[in-house]
């Protein structure tokens, strides 16, 4: 099986609190992998470790069979091969929509091409037109910000796309629009997608495969269609959203 | 009972450890800054916009402050000097006081209030809204993109602002001296030009460059390392202004000792 990303026994602690506990997961190329789990189970920390925003205490991450550590992450040009949609969009306040979308492209091809054309093309892919090109993030609604951030994430035609809670903070209709867009752009760009979310509707809609994290480790992985028949009490409790079951919520966390 | 004996040493120990950690963290940040300063790319567009923001936009504040400081200095020296019949030293003391001390220190402190706070708040907000993480995922080193242009801009701007502050400050003394205290214009100007040496102005400019660095560096450092949401942004802004102001006053003493005591 062709894995674009392999994670072996990743651990990360903050003081006494272990957030990732020997976590291992393989991500298949050209599939949409969703990682679900409750708050504080290590989803965001896992994402930050993969992206190089945080250093794990131990464990290995392989991208295209090459190990990624602090040193060779730059050598293999990892960041030019990925796109990331942040939970709060994370658009640059001081730049307009066009500059936001083409921010990464300028680094790649300095001599080049009409950046406006690229921005308009990417905007079209996320259902926006050129009228927003010169607006600033503060002039856009939450849903539009997410779309522009999605356009920025796909601007460099990445091999690997990351989505961090893509539907959080959106109304159900806009959340569905974003889910559809994610499916469309993944297909169009031909990228592998990794999404972390606790929104089960979103997970079912965009996932080929789903993994569930609990206490910093993967406790279940399977096809998205099998999640309702997983026979895993943790998964069952999570997808039903029930407070009764093996997952105990510590209100002091 | 024994528990209470340890409270004070424990608190002192914790403070010392926290201070050591802060110094270490600033040293690492400075090391990263130096490495990024001398490696491409340099973001010229960002540098130019910061020059406008830090330098040009600070002109009115620093000009006004310098003018009134020069005027007050002239009044105070006149009143103090008249006690031993030394009113005529007003022009000389205003010129030396402004160029050597008050020009750079007032400009530095004004810049600390205006620029250090805004740099810190801006970068801290970028930190808490994941914009700094976004920069990294877009193959951009935040230290090169955010910190280097701001620190360079302050380093270049403040000496220029201080030259302007020196001129406006001396002019403030001149206006008060000639319009209120009755000095003759020609003799006031002559006394001013006679007393000022290149060394006086240069020492002020060296101080200005150091203060400019401190102002932007502390703003960037506290903003970059901000944690804890909106409250963290506020805290980092306060820390940036307070630490920049204290460092300006402390380094002013050290620089004055080095330049003028031998």
pLDDT tens digit string along A206-232? 999 999 999 999 999 999 999 888 888
pLDDT at A112 over 70: no
In chain A, the percentage of residues whose pLDDT exceeds 90 is 52
Give the least confident one: A96-100, A180-184, B132-136: A180-184
Q: Which of A63-71's residues contact partners 24+ apart within 8 Å by CB, and which partners?
A: A63/A4, A63/A5, A63/A160, A64/A4, A64/A159, A65/A6
Residue B170 pLDDT grade (very low, low, confident, very high; cuts 50, 70, 90): very high
Whether residue B25 lies inside any domain: the answer is: no
User: B137 to chain A: which residues are within 8 Å by CB?
Assistant: 51, 53, 79, 82-84, 162
Q: What is the mean pLDDT of residues A68-80?
A: 83
Tell me which of A103-117, A125-139, B75-89 is least confident.
A103-117
CA B196, B201, B203, B204 torsion-angle sign: positive
B70 lies in some domain: yes
Number of H helices, E strands in chain A: 9, 10
CB pair distance less than 8 Å for B134 and A90: yes
pLDDT for B261 = 67
Average pLDDT over residues B74-97: 90
- Inform me whether the pLDDT recorded for B262 exceeds 70: no
Give the residue from chain B lying closest to A110, CA to CA.
Answer: B41
pLDDT computed for residue A251 by the predictor: 60
- pTM here is 0.88
- Is the Cβ of A127 closer than 8 Å to some Cβ of chain B? no
Contact (CB<8Å) A90/B131: yes
**Is B68 domain-assigned?**
yes
The domain limits of chain A are: 3-240
C-alpha span between B148 and B192 (Å, rounded): 38
Question: Of the candidates A90, A93, A107, which has its C-beta nearest B139's C-beta?
Answer: A107
The span from the CA of A190 to the CA of B235, in Å, is: 44
The verdict on A233 touching B (C-beta cutoff 8 Å) is no
Domain membership of residue B242 (yes or no) is: yes
Q: Does A82 touch chain B (CB under 8 A)?
A: yes
Q: Is B1 helix (H, G, I), strand (E, B) or coil?
A: coil
Residues B223-254 as b or e (16 or more Cβ within 10 Å = b): bbbbeeeeebbebbbebbbebbbebbeebbee
Q: pLDDT grade, residue A189 (50/70/90)?
A: confident
> Cβ contacts (< 8 Å) between A103 and chain B: which residues?
138, 140
Find residue A58's DSSP bridge partners: A11
Q: List CB contacts (< 8 A) between B136 and chain A.
A: 51-53, 79
**Token digits of residue A171:** 């109304």
In angstroms, what separates the C-alpha of A199 from chain B's closest C-alpha? 21
**The pair of three-digit structure tokens given for residue A234, joined into one six-digit string:** 């943790």
- Beta strand A3-14 with A17-28: parallel, antiparallel or unpaired? antiparallel
Tell me if B139 and A80 make a contact (CB, 8 A cut-off). yes
Q: Do B131 and A51 touch (CB under 8 A)?
A: no
> For the residues A136-161, what does the mean pLDDT come to?
93
Residue B123, domain extent: 43-260
Q: Which chain A residues touch B44 with a CB distance below 8 Å?
A: none
Question: What strands, in cross-sheet order, belong to the sheet with A192-197?
Answer: A82-85, A160-164, A192-197, A32-36, A209-214, A217-223
| Interval B238-260 mean pLDDT | 93
B50 vs A contacts (CB less than 8 Å):
none
Which numeric CATH code is attached to A3-240? 3.40.50.300
Residue A198 has pLDDT above 90, yes or no: no
Q: In the predicted model, is pLDDT for residue A158 greater than 80?
A: yes
pLDDT in tens, A15-49: 889 999 999 999 999 999 999 998 888 999 999 99
Does residue B140 sit at the A interface (CB-CB below 8 Å)?
A: yes
- For chain B, how many structural domains are there in total? 1
**pLDDT(B74) > 80:** yes
């Amino acid at each position: 099986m062709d894995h674009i990303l392999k994670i072996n026994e990743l651990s990360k602690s903050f003081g006494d609190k272990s957030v990732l506990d020997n976590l291992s997961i393989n991500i298949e190329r050209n599939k949409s992998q969703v990682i679900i789990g409750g708050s504080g189970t290590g989803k965001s920390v896992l994402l930050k470790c993969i992206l190089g925003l945080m250093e794990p205490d131990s464990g290995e991450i392989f991208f295209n069979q090459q190990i990624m550590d602090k040193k060779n992450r730059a050598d293999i040009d990892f960041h030019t091969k990925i796109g990331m949609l942040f939970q709060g969009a994370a658009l640059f306040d001081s730049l307009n929509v066009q500059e936001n979308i083409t921010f990464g492209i300028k680094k790649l091809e300095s001599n080049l091409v009409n950046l406006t054309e690229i921005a308009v093309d990417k905007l079209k892919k996320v259902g926006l037109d050129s009228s927003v090109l010169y607006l600033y993030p503060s002039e856009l609604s939450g849903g539009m910000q997410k779309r522009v951030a999605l356009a920025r994430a796909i601007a460099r035609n990445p091999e690997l796309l990351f989505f961090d809670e893509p539907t959080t903070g959106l109304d159900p209709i806009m959340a569905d629009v974003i889910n559809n867009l994610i499916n469309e752009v993944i297909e169009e760009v031909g990228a592998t997608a990794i999404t972390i979310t606790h929104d089960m509707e979103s997970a079912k809609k965009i996932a080929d495969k789903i993994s569930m994290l609990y206490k910093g480790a993967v406790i279940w992985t399977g096809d998205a269609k099998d999640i309702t028949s997983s026979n895993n009490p943790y998964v069952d409790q999570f997808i039903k959203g029930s407070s009764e079951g093996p997952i105990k919520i510590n209100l002091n966390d | 009972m024994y528990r209470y004996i340890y409270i004070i040493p424990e608190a002192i120990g914790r403070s010392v450890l926290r201070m050591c950690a802060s110094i270490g963290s600033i040293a690492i940040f400075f090391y990263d800054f130096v490495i990024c300063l001398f490696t491409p790319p340099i973001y010229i567009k960002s540098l130019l916009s910061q020059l406008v923001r830090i330098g040009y936009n600070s002109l009115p504040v620093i000009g006004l402050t310098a003018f009134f400081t020069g005027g007050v200095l002239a009044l105070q020296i006149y009143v103090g000097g008249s006690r031993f019949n030394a009113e005529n030293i007003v022009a000389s003391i205003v010129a030396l006081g402004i160029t050597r001390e008050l020009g750079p220190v007032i400009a530095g402190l004004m810049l600390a209030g205006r620029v250090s706070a805004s740099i810190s708040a801006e970068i801290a907000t970028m930190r808490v809204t994941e914009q700094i993480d976004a920069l990294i995922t877009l193959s951009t080193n935040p230290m090169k993109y955010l910190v280097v242009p701001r620190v360079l801009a302050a380093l270049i701007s403040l000496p220029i602002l201080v030259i302007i502050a020196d001129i406006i400050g001396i002019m403030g003394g001149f206006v008060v001296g000639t319009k209120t205290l009755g000095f003759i214009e020609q003799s006031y100007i002559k006394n001013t030009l006679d007393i000022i040496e290149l060394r006086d102005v240069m020492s002020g400019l060296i101080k200005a460059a150091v203060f400019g660095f401190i102002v932007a560096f502390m703003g960037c450092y506290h903003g970059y390392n901000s944690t804890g949401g909106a409250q963290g942004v506020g805290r980092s802004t306060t820390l940036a202004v307070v630490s920049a102001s204290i460092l300006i006053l402390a380094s002013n003493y050290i620089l004055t000792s080095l330049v003028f005591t031998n």
